């Protein structure tokens, strides 16, 4: 590879700051030219169209990879997604253009599960509300429910959902789950009961979302389904903002129809105009659930491994690809 012209890589991520330097250095040692995100935020479609000509690979965030983007990037051969969500990638368009879409499966699910439990404990325990009061000189508490032996409803029992379930067992929680393709063996081994989504929503004290965002799951938690939840229940979302009708969620929270929510993801990010920002029964974080020091290194290196394999013509491993058929077409 070193005897040929240097292949260009776009590091589309902007939020890692200087922490990205070791990964850039690794690519440079392998002979790549690395181009950083030039705008310091998520790239738009128009910006990708301008930047991608001549680029062999991207380490991708949540910027949009559309038919138009792929059409403008004739040299692009791999989009290595920094994470496991791919709702911003038109996989069919990528496949038509011979672009492999590689995922970082198996690298950050434990971090997301940690964050889901953190948000769960924070919103159920009134942590932020109590913090604000004490910092203002108020010495007043609200009695709140506990997590121990509460009923949790896990929507999506994939890698993250399973990791959350293992943690919930430590709280001796009753665990309900809904999944389109239920893993019956795992549920049996871990004391999990599969139920219809409507049953889960009616019975859970905390509902935590771990489903992918697809056209079928858009607004999965809508006004009608929120109405099924107990007024004392909480909603946690560390998956994708598109799973939740945010207007309906705001109405439920503002009216007291729902006790609270912990949200790491939003339909529009950052959610600068969202009325959810003004509620005191909501705990918010900036789409960071999958990011800790361990997962960051694992995800970044998985992306680089996939890019190297594509450049060498040896992969990536098909189980990491959304469209492995592009390897045989290369």
Q: What is the pLDDT of residues 253-276, one digit of tens each?
A: 999 999 999 999 999 999 999 999
Q: Tell whether 277 and 166 lie within a shared domain.
A: yes
Instruction: Say if residue 55's pLDDT is above 50.
Output: yes
- Which is more confident, 130 or 5? 130
- Cα 119 from Cα 66, distance rounded (Å): 33
Model confidence, pTM: 0.87
Please check whether residue 155 is in contact with residue 197, taking contact to mean a CB–CB distance below 8 angstroms. yes
Q: Tell whether 100 and 234 lie within a shared domain.
A: no
Please check whether residue 289 is in contact with residue 163, taking contact to mean a CB–CB distance below 8 angstroms. no
Q: How far is CA 111 from CA 167, 292, 299, in A?
A: 12, 6, 11
pLDDT (average), residues 231-251: 98
Active site residue 312: no
Domain that holds residue 276: 109-284
- Cα 314 from Cα 327, distance rounded (Å): 9
Q: Tell whether 277 and 141 lie within a shared domain.
A: yes
Selecting among 28, 172, 224, 269, the annotated active-site residue is 269
Closest listed residue to residue 304, CA positions, set 88, 70, 93, 34: 34
Confidence of residue 5 (pLDDT cuts 50, 70, 90): confident
**Helix intervals (H) in 255-312:** 293-312
Active site residue 240: yes
Domain tally for the chain? 2
Q: Tell whether 206 and 170 lie within a shared domain.
A: yes
Q: Tell whether 183 and 307 lie within a shared domain.
A: no
Instruction: Say if residue 200's pLDDT is above 50.
Output: yes
Q: Tell whether 298 and 223 lie within a shared domain.
A: no
Instruction: Say if residue 1's pLDDT is above 60.
Output: no
In a domain, 3, yes or no: no
Selecting among 159, 287, 302, 310, the annotated active-site residue is 287
Instruction: Say if residue 3's pLDDT is above 80.
Output: no
Please check whether residue 69 is in contact with residue 45, taking contact to mean a CB–CB distance below 8 angstroms. yes
Active site residue 47: no
pLDDT (average), residues 296-317: 95
Q: Tell whether 38 and 183 lie within a shared domain.
A: no
Confidence of residue 47 (pLDDT cuts 50, 70, 90): very high
Q: Tell whether 164 and 234 lie within a shared domain.
A: yes
Please check whether residue 52 is in contact with residue 74, taking contact to mean a CB–CB distance below 8 angstroms. no
3-state SS assignment for residue 17: helix
Q: Tell whether 188 and 308 lie within a shared domain.
A: no
Q: What is the pLDDT of residues 135-162, one digit of tens each?
A: 999 999 999 999 999 999 999 999 999 9
Instruction: Say if residue 202's pLDDT is above 90.
Output: yes
Q: Tell whether 171 and 305 lie within a shared domain.
A: no
- Cα 44 from Cα 306, distance rounded (Å): 24
Report whether the peptide linkage leading into residue 244 is cis, meaning its omega lies within 30 degrees of zero.
Answer: no
pLDDT (average), residues 214-235: 97
3-state SS record for 95-115: HHCCCEEECCCCCCHHHHHHH
Instruction: Say if residue 105's pLDDT is above 70.
Output: yes
Q: What is the CATH number of the domain that holds 247?
A: 3.40.50.720
Q: Tell whether 78 and 118 lie within a shared domain.
A: no
What does the CA dihedral 114, 117, 122, 125 come to, rounded to 10 degrees? -150
Helix and strand tally (H, E) in the chain? Answer: 13, 12
């Amino acid at each position: 590879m070193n005897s040929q012209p240097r292949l260009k890589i776009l590091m589309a991520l902007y939020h890692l700051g200087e922490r990205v330097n070791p990964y850039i250095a690794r690519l440079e040692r392998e002979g790549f030219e690395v181009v950083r995100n030039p705008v310091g935020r998520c790239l738009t479609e128009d910006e990708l169209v301008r930047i991608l000509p001549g680029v062999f690979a991207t380490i991708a965030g949540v910027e949009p990879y559309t038919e138009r983007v792929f059409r403008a990037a004739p040299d692009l051969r791999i989009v290595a997604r920094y994470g496991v969500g791919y709702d911003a990638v038109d996989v069919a368009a990528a496949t038509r253009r011979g672009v492999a879409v590689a995922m970082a499966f198996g690298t950050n699910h434990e971090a997301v599960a940690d964050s889901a439990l953190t948000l769960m404990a924070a919103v159920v325990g009134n942590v932020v509300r109590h913090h604000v009061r004490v910092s203002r000189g108020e010495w007043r508490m609200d009695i709140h429910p506990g997590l121990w032996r509460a009923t949790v409803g896990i929507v999506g029992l994939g890698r993250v959902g399973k990791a959350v379930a293992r943690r919930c067992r430590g709280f001796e929680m009753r665990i309900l789950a809904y999944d389109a393709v239920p893993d019956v063996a795992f549920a049996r081994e871990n004391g999990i009961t599969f139920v219809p989504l409507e049953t889960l929503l009616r019975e859970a004290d905390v509902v935590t979302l771990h489903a992918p965002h697809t056209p079928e799951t858009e607004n999965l938690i809508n006004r009608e389904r929120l109405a099924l939840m107990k007024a004392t229940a909480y909603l946690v979302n560390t998956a994708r903002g598109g799973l939740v009708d945010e207007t309906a969620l705001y109405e439920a929270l503002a009216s007291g129809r729902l006790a609270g929510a912990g949200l790491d993801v939003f339909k529009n990010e950052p959610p600068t105009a969202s009325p959810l920002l003004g509620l005191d029964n909501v705990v918010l974080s900036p789409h960071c659930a999958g990011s800790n020091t361990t997962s960051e290194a694992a995800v970044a290196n998985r992306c680089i491994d996939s890019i190297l394999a594509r450049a060498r013509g040896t992969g990536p491993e098909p189980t990491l690809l959304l469209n492995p058929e592009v390897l045989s077409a290369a």
